[in-house]
Amino acid sequence: MYTFVLVMIAGVSSGFLSGLLGIGGGIITVPVLIYVFRLEPIVAIGTSLCVIFPTALIGSFLHHMHGNVKGSLLLYFLPLSLIGAFIGVKAAAHLPGDVLKKVFALVFLVISVKMFFSK
């Protein structure tokens, strides 16, 4: 029962933050999967991406319906992001779990500091 409650809280939180902030939920899901459910980082990342996919589809559709999507950017951003995702998955498969955790933390720390101090 405890595990189910944790999954519910993490799922609702990641979905809410995904829709609200466009973060994909990974910032919530990956640490929860690593530290609460004791998954290896590479498994947590893969599981998180599988959770994020339908969440992103729904969020994308609803934001599009509200006119919040810049379609012209999609022509460039989407294919390049797909290439980057392919390269990232290949790289992650060859990195130790502790390195993945440190990279994850560093990326979000830098982004957080930048956002906090920007206007």
Per-residue pLDDT of the chain (119 residues; tens, 9 = 90+): 677 888 888 888 877 877 777 776 678 888 888 988 899 999 999 998 898 888 888 888 998 999 999 988 888 888 999 999 999 999 999 999 999 999 988 988 998 899 899 88
Geometric angle at alpha carbon 81, from 13 and 31, rounded to 5° = 30
pLDDT at site 86: 93
In whole angstroms, give the CA distance from residue 104 to residue 92. Answer: 11
pLDDT at site 107: 87
Across the chain, the runs of DSSP E, i.e. the strands, are: none
In whole angstroms, give the CA distance from residue 57 to residue 50. Answer: 12
pLDDT at site 24: 62
